[in-house]
Amino acid sequence: MNHYPHPIIAREGWPYVGLTLAAAIAVTIFAGAWSLPFWVIAVFVLQFFRDPPRRVPAEAGIVISPADGRIVVVEMTQDPYANREALKISVFMNVFNVHSNRAPVDGKIESVQYFPGKFVNADLDKASIENERNALVITAASGQTVTCVQVAGLIARRILCYVKPGEVLKRGQRYGFIRFGSRVDIYLPPGAVPAVTVGDKVSATETVLARF
């Protein structure tokens, strides 16, 4: 089980949760029933920044989902960050998903590559190459290369990444956060066998995306 210093609400959300709750309480005191829209906003912000602990699968040779959401891509393509052919699996997160990002494998971070870009709908394929994004190239404990890319979405305006090259990640470790709707792309060795298909709903850490 992963434990964080913010076991229920992500630390990235504390200012937003505090502000919206304070506004809702203030309007309730001074305007009564007119406060309902403010409470709706406060509840939405509270659920968006939830960050529950997750159980990490112990099975060897697996790649776990780095995010909650829905699978929108499973295909062979080119990994532009590690310059290789790869199996690409993409997870689209809507505004109701948990937006904390977790490491898909045990491994060492070889590089962190940030690219400014557009903010088109993250559900579209072109978001992977046109939107603002941050890529981790990881050498897994098995020696395989795994690339994990945070991609901003239509509403998202901030990608947060807390790790650096040379750091060693543990499978399921929390390493970043994307605010308000986005996606995460995973590039795996060509021999990896996908365990999901397009349309599947996945949970960060708990869902196995592929095996190698």
Supply the angle between the helices 36-48 and 14-31 in degrees, to the nearest 10. Answer: 170
Cα–Cα nearest to 67, from 199, 191, 174 = 174
Give me the catalytic one of 65, 90, 100, 182: 182
List Cβ neighbours of 158 (8 Å cut-off, separation of 6 or more).
152, 178, 179
**Catalytic residue flag (residue 100):** no
What span, in angstroms and rounded, lies between the C-alpha atoms of 184 and 90? Answer: 6
Map tokens 């190239």 to a residue: 137
User: CB of 207 within 8 A of CB of 172?
Assistant: no
Known catalytic residues are: 182
